[in-house]
Amino acid sequence: MLKKFFKKLKKDEENMNEVEQSQETNSDSIEESSNLKKEEKCITTQILDSSDKSPSFFNKLKSGLLKTRQGITEKIDSLLKSYGKVDEELLEELEEILIMSDVGMDTTLKIIERLRTEISSRKITDTSEVKSVLKEILKELLQTSKSNDLDISTPPSIILVIGVNGVGKTTSIGKLAHNLRSKGKKVLLAAGDTFRAAAIDQLKIWGDRVGVNVIHHQEGSDPAAIIFDAIQAAKARKIDVLICDTAGRLHNKKNLMNELSKVFKIVDREFSEAKKEVLLVLDATTGQNAIRQAQTFKEVADITGIILTKLDGTAKGGVILGITSELDIPVKLIGIGEGMEDLQPFEPNEFVEALLSEN
């Protein structure tokens, strides 16, 4: 079991190096300029009404989790079927399945320990009962001390979206803007990733697509100046939710720290009346590396929640358990596709039911 685990750890290291290499290596120059020409577009699209808790919502979640379900649930099901009794060997095999599904070593051991305790205190001997106990344990594990809901109940609110390049920040912002707008909220976006012109354009395209204005400056301009302008616009237009994109170049922690702390300072000074969410975006396909990214960002920001993206594209969805249990940061939203409807609020019980349900 350990041999497999270390082999996996090595593979994760290699993936991490690839992620780091794919990030820009140029150092960013932050210049003070809040007077650059602004170009905004206002396009009205039809307001869609999405009911969050419909059966189709649950089915969508289930199909979004297909690969992870194949990696965890199908293996657990066939394991339980193949064992006649509940014993230490069964627990060991279960442990291996969880580790291989990117749940993480510490979290897996925690789960197995709990399971062992419950099995003995409830005197469980039938393998068919193990799964429901496991569900209970996972549901509990996915609850942190904080709420999984976005705190945007009383306007105005500001949501700062942070995370390394490529994890899905801009896409998630587009989806979230669509979701909030369809619920009747007045939304404004700020193009705080000024590192490449393409990043600004990408947010503008999302803004057009979902019918939300985007405040932006030119490539290379100061992100804090854009956030400043966006806050003034949000106040003047009585916006409910301002969502800010940011750049994420983890390879240079000092720059990242400087850039983010400047943005946070502006927000605290200019928009102290707003409810503030700092959402870290993590890519589920990176498995355990996502946890390492979160640890780094935790040092530079007061993260209030996580958006876990690309759960549809991976069998590594088990990482959500490690994230919640090791970091004590609630997952608030999950990405299960590239479309504008493919962002869902995260609800632990529903998630576990979708993950562990049969077929």
Residues that bind ligand GDP (CB under 6 A): 163, 165-171, 202, 281, 309-310, 312-313, 335-338, 342
**Nearest residue (beta carbon) to ligand GDP:** 335
Backbone φ and ψ of 183, nearest 5°: -95, 10
Kindly state the smallest distance separating residue 358's Cβ from Mg ion, in Å: 38
Partner from Mg ion, ligand GDP, none binding residue 148, C-beta < 5-8 Å depending on class: none
Q: Mark 187-206 with x for binding to Mg ion (rule: CB under 5 A) and - for no binding.
A: ------------x-------
Backbone φ and ψ of 107, nearest 5°: -65, -40
Nearer CB in complex with ligand GDP: 72/203: 203
Distances in Å between the Cα of 217 and the Cα atoms of 32, 65, 192 are 12, 38, 9
Distances in Å between the Cα of 302 and the Cα atoms of 64, 90, 157, 214, 294 are 29, 41, 16, 25, 11
Span of 4-12, 14-22, 162-170, 184-192 interacting with Mg ion by CB under 5 A = 162-170
Q: Does 170 sit near Mg ion (CB under 5 A)?
A: yes
Kindly state the smallest distance separating residue 62's Cβ from ligand GDP, in Å: 15
Number of residues that bind Mg ion (CB under 5 A): 3
Nearer CB in complex with Mg ion: 134/161: 161
Distances in Å between the Cα of 140 and the Cα atoms of 155, 348, 352 are 31, 8, 10
Partner from ligand GDP, Mg ion, none binding residue 312, C-beta < 5-8 Å depending on class: ligand GDP
The residue type of 185 is: K
The dihedral formed by the CA atoms of 358, 318, 108 and 116, expressed in degrees to the nearest 10: -20
Kindly state the smallest distance separating residue 108's Cβ from Mg ion, in Å: 33
Kindly state the smallest distance separating residue 21's Cβ from ligand GDP, in Å: 15
Query: Helix 88-100 and helix 105-121: axis angle, to 10°?
Result: 150
Kindly state the smallest distance separating residue 85's Cβ from ligand GDP, in Å: 41
**Nearest residue (beta carbon) to Mg ion:** 170
Q: For the chain, what is the radius of gyration of the CA atoms?
A: 22
Q: CB 93: neighbour CB atoms within 10 A? A: 17
Backbone φ and ψ of 276, nearest 5°: -120, 130
Nearer CB in complex with ligand GDP: 94/191: 191
Find the helix or strand (DSSP H, E) in which 99 lies.
helix 88-100
Kindly state the smallest distance separating residue 202's Cβ from ligand GDP, in Å: 6
Partner from ligand GDP, Mg ion, none binding residue 335, C-beta < 5-8 Å depending on class: ligand GDP
Give Cα 288 to chain centroid, integer Å.
14
- List contacts with Mg ion (CB under 5 A): 169-170, 199
